[in-house]
Structure 1
Amino acid sequence: MIAEETLVKELKSKDTQSHAFEVLVSTYKERLYWHVRRIVLNHDDADDVLQNTFIKVFRNIEGFKGDSKLFSWMYRIATNEALSFLKQKTKKLGVSDIDYQEKMVENLQADVYFEGDEIQLKLQKAIAKLPEKQKLVFNMKYYEDLKYEEISEILNTSVGGLKASYHLAIKKLENYLTQD
């Protein structure tokens, strides 16, 4: 694994940019795919958002100042791309965010890329009902096992606020999952 500082330097140099970008994509594509997939819930949409994310990373690498980790910067781009994608989709379809998320969860059963069982499906339905910030925090903490400090960098919010959002998300999920 190449050091992050070296990778950033190589990404900014015209001579090494192409190879460095291949390394970047191979290093982060799976993690970013699953991050995006948990937001948009559809394989094809996740692929599209991921492609847009890497295009933005490539085009904007010169503006990366190193104030945060490269990983956090890319996650922020991926998160924003996924949320923008959802907003465009719901606007185009003329439905609310919640209605769209519930429809996408229902479609998971027919999705050949979804490998979950009934419990996983019920959890996805519960997560879809969470407010956007709680959903993001829950997914990053529960599925990706990110530290609050990392999530704070990605979402540009306080650690205290994230802990409160995660706690509220857990309570709401427990309530939903224990109802019959």
Structure 2
Amino acid sequence: MPENENQLIVQLQSQDHKNHAFRELISLYKERLYWHIRNIVKSHDDADDVLQNTFIKVFKNIDNFKGESKLYSWIYRIATNEALTHLKKNAKRLNLNSEEANNLAIKNLESDVYFEGEKIQLKLQKAIATLPEKQQ
């Protein structure tokens, strides 16, 4: 296991170590991310789907991670956006309009015990949630 986050990032961005490092990343963050997503989408099956989509996006885009934030914050943002996208796509099934889905997600984000972001990060996530899907 890497000694620190920077070492994990280097391994994730290395083709030789990417698969092993990614398994470590999943074991480190899957439970926290699952409960964050579950808090937004409410359904276990939906949370599993969104979590899987989140990790797929992380795997495909890890080379674009610039280190401007903590790795977990970056992944958390991806998970939040995936959950919001899922809510919007399923808003009809849930009898919610897009605004209601956004408000529900923002409320859940504010009460999330795993959210480590500062006030500015929370404001950013709220602002992202109000953007049209293409701009997120």
Q: If the TM-score is normalised by the length of the shorter chain, which range does it land in?
A: 0.7 to 0.9
Greater Cα radius of gyration, structure 1 or 2:
1
Cα deviation 1:12-58 (Å, max 9, x = unaligned) = 00000010000000000000000000000010100000000000000
Gaps of at least 5 residues in structure 1 are 102-129, 162-180
Which residue number corresponds to residue 136 of structure 1?
109
- In 1: Cα distance, 2:10 partner to 2:117 partner: 28
- In 1: Cα distance, 2:39 partner to 2:71 partner: 21
1:133–1:6 CA distance, 2 compared to 1 (3 A):
same
1:97–1:138 CA distance, 2 compared to 1 (3 A):
farther
Q: CA RMSD in A?
A: 2.7
Output aligned runs, 1:88-127, within 5 Å.
Answer: 88-91=89-92, 93=93, 95-97=95-97
The one-letter code of the counterpart of 1:156 is L
- Report how many aligned residue pairs link the two structures: 124
Counterpart pick for 1:153 among 114, 117, 121:
121
State the structure with bigger RCO (CA 8 A, min sep 6), 1 or 2: 2
Retained in 2: the 8 A contact 1:76–1:155?
Answer: no
Gaps of at least 5 residues in structure 2 are 128-136
Identity of aligned residues (%): 50
1:94–1:54 CA distance, 2 compared to 1 (3 A):
closer
| More helix per residue | 1
